Homo-oligomer: A and B are copies of this chain.
Amino acid sequence: MPSSARFTGLQTVDVRFPTSRTLDGSDAMNPDPDYSAAYVMVETDGTGGLTGLTGHGFAFTIGRGNDIMSAAIGALRDHVVGLPVEEVLGDMGAFWRLLAHDAQLRWLGPEKGVMHMAIGAVVNAVWDLKAKREGRPLWKVLADLAPEQLVALVDFRYLTDALTPAEALELLTRAAEGKARREAQLLADGYPAYTTSPGWLGYSDDKMVRLAKDAVAHGFRQIKLKVGADTAMDVHRMRLARDTVGPDIAVAVDANQRWDVATAIEAIGALAPFSPAWIEEPTSPDDILGHAAIRRAVAPLRIATGEHVHNRVIFKQMLQAGSLDVLQLDATRVAGVNENIAILLLAAKFGIPVCPHAGGVGLSELVQHLAMFDFIAVSGTLENRMIEYAGHLHEHFTQPAVVKNGRYLAPLAPGFSAQMLDQTLVDYAFPTGVTWAE
């Protein structure tokens, strides 16, 4: 029976967690983040499949400015309310273009920063709704789409010099073979994770060592350290970490954009004796050519970036220019699931592994779906691939990501795992919630 359901509301909540009080999440560029979510609920009337009357989404920020992000999401209310639900869910490519191609809003980017992230939050909320109504986790919804349907989700504008719709279709059609086998493997074994929990810059040596041992004991095969504030201190911490975990556990480092090209090459040289698994965000996320120059200079050490790369056009060029060895997409930096499918397709075309950015709040919950979809239906491989994990703030979600023995278990609940607990939305609302009133 065709539904006459409509989108009836779009509500935002400015949710902030006081993480700066414990220096969880501290790094060389971001010394005192308050992990936050500009949270959105898209509401519908009528009947909603298994659980699907409301879709949940958010943009991750680190504190100040979460109100601006919430306002930007709220500005999309008139774009959404009144639309027919089934029509939107049946053509998510058209819905994406409806938001991303609004000429007046596009001027605020274009396709970058606050407005683009706001579009991503709404797009992701509608994907959450779609998956809930279909009664399946998002990774499964995406993996079950036909190659033609996946291609229709992607805006190929500005991509065709690197990837045409026809090439994408061919790539997805090739990858369709073996999908059932890979899905079974995923359900049985999960998806590899690595952890950043030991490595925050504000942690003492003792705390870092203790957490690094914990990580290995819990089955992680890679940890990550924040670096970039001071090279001598970075070398000290890297040696300490290497001594703690031994030669068989990978230790990646993350400079959080602190270096210029020449300083990056020098600092990476100082860390090279300790065999870092990759060097993440050595410089500005906008610096395609800078990343390429650094990568050439430090090879065979590997360069990773992506959590601040603002759209598919920058990723396209990073792949064209040879800027990276590891592509770290982010679930809430670009304009949602659709744009991340474009990014997964680009990465597959260029043969570059995707290891999504997580940490923050709720990023693990979201990116696991994208990585698992990639494994089943796009790249078809786990080689050199893993998802970041940090142990905080999962308790605020109705379906928290589950990592066991160093691997993400495939989420089975319907939706995009984006929904926070009702009580969290009350207690951590800024500035009215009890956490902030204290």
Q: Chain A interface residue count: which class? A: 35 or more
Taking the nearest CB of chain B, how far is it from the CB of A80, in angstroms? 14
Contacts of A261 in B (CB 8 A): 160-161
- Nearest B residue to A308, CB-CB: B110
Asked if A283 lies at the interface with its beta carbon under 8 angstroms from chain B, I say yes
Q: Which listed residue, B62, B104, B316, touches A64 by the CB 8 Å rule? A: B104
Stretch of A39-47, A232-240, A243-251, A284-292 with 4 or more beta carbons under 8 angstroms from chain B: A284-292
Total copies of the chain: 2
6 new A-B pairs (CB below 8 Å) besides A71-B71, A157-B284, A286-B317?
Answer: A30-B104, A33-B107, A62-B107, A65-B115, A111-B286, A289-B317
Taking the nearest CB of chain B, how far is it from the CB of A308, in angstroms? 6
Q: Could you tell me which residues of chain A, from 59 to 98, have a CB within 8 Å of some CB in chain B?
A: 61-65, 67-69, 71-72, 75
Taking the nearest CB of chain B, how far is it from the CB of A58, in angstroms? 14
Whether A34 pairs with B71 at a CB distance below 8 angstroms is no
Contacts A103-B29, A103-B33; A289 near B286 (Cβ below 8 A)? no
Asked if A32 lies at the interface with its beta carbon under 8 angstroms from chain B, I say yes
Contacts A112-B113, A158-B260; A65 near B107 (Cβ below 8 A)? yes
Whether B262 pairs with A107 at a CB distance below 8 angstroms is no
Contacts of A116 in B (CB 8 A): 113
Whether A286 pairs with B260 at a CB distance below 8 angstroms is no
Whether A158 pairs with B284 at a CB distance below 8 angstroms is yes
Contacts of A23 in B (CB 8 A): none
- Nearest B residue to A285, CB-CB: B110
Q: Which listed residue, B33, B260, B284, touches A104 by the CB 8 Å rule? A: B33
Contacts of A316 in B (CB 8 A): 287
Asked if A310 lies at the interface with its beta carbon under 8 angstroms from chain B, I say yes
Q: What is the 8 Å Cβ interface bit string for chain A, positions 112-144, against chain B (1 contact, 0 not)? A: 111111000000000000000000000000000
Contacts of A69 in B (CB 8 A): 108
Contacts of A49 in B (CB 8 A): none
Contacts of A230 in B (CB 8 A): none
Whether A105 pairs with B64 at a CB distance below 8 angstroms is yes
Contacts of A110 in B (CB 8 A): 257, 284-285, 308
Whether B288 pairs with A289 at a CB distance below 8 angstroms is yes
Contacts of A161 in B (CB 8 A): 260-262, 290, 293
- Nearest B residue to A103, CB-CB: B30
Asked if A109 lies at the interface with its beta carbon under 8 angstroms from chain B, I say yes
Contacts A68-B75, A161-B293, A317-B288; A61 near B113 (Cβ below 8 A)? no
